[in-house]
Amino acid sequence: MLSGFDKYECSRNIDLHHFISRGKLMSADAARKYCEVTHPEVFMVPVCNLHNAGTKIADSRKARKYILLRLIDTFGADYLKEVIDGVPWKVPSAHFDLTYEGIMAG
């Protein structure tokens, strides 16, 4: 997914990267289930191990925006906006940067 994003060539091992970091989902059960179970096609992104666990590059704001743009090619912007803005956060204001607009502003 991050092939061509930066100077690193992708490694061959593919991880399922949490588009919204596991840390943010850890204490938010409803949001975690929504991401992992209801909409894995958006929130569980195949990213090589180097960009994911190896360097954590996939967690950066720039990478998140890049991934979003790639996902738009597949699913369309309307669908992604609906799904991303539909995350059932308990305290939405704490996650304002994880709205569709916030990610696009990256």
Interface contacts to Zn ion, rule CB under 5 A: 2, 10, 48, 51
Of the two residues 6 and 36, which places its CB atom closer to Zn ion in the complex?
6
User: In sequence order, what DSSP letters do the residues of 15-71 get, joined into one string?
Assistant: EEEESS-HHHHTT-HHHHHIIIII-HHHHEEEEETIIIIIT-GGGSHHHHHHHHHHH
Q: Which is nearer to Zn ion, 51 or 64 (CB)?
A: 51
CB of 13 to Zn ion, least distance (A): 10
CB of 5 to Zn ion, least distance (A): 7
In contact, 22 and 74? CB cutoff 8 Å? no
CB of 45 to Zn ion, least distance (A): 11
Q: How far is the CB of 70 from Zn ion (least distance, A)?
A: 12
Closest CB to Zn ion among 39 and 51?
Answer: 51
Alpha-carbon separation of residue 69 from 5, 6, 28, 105 (angstroms): 12, 15, 26, 12
Cβ proximity to Zn ion, 54 vs 88, nearer residue: 54
Tell me the CB-side half-sphere exposure of residue 48, using CA atoms within 13 A: 14
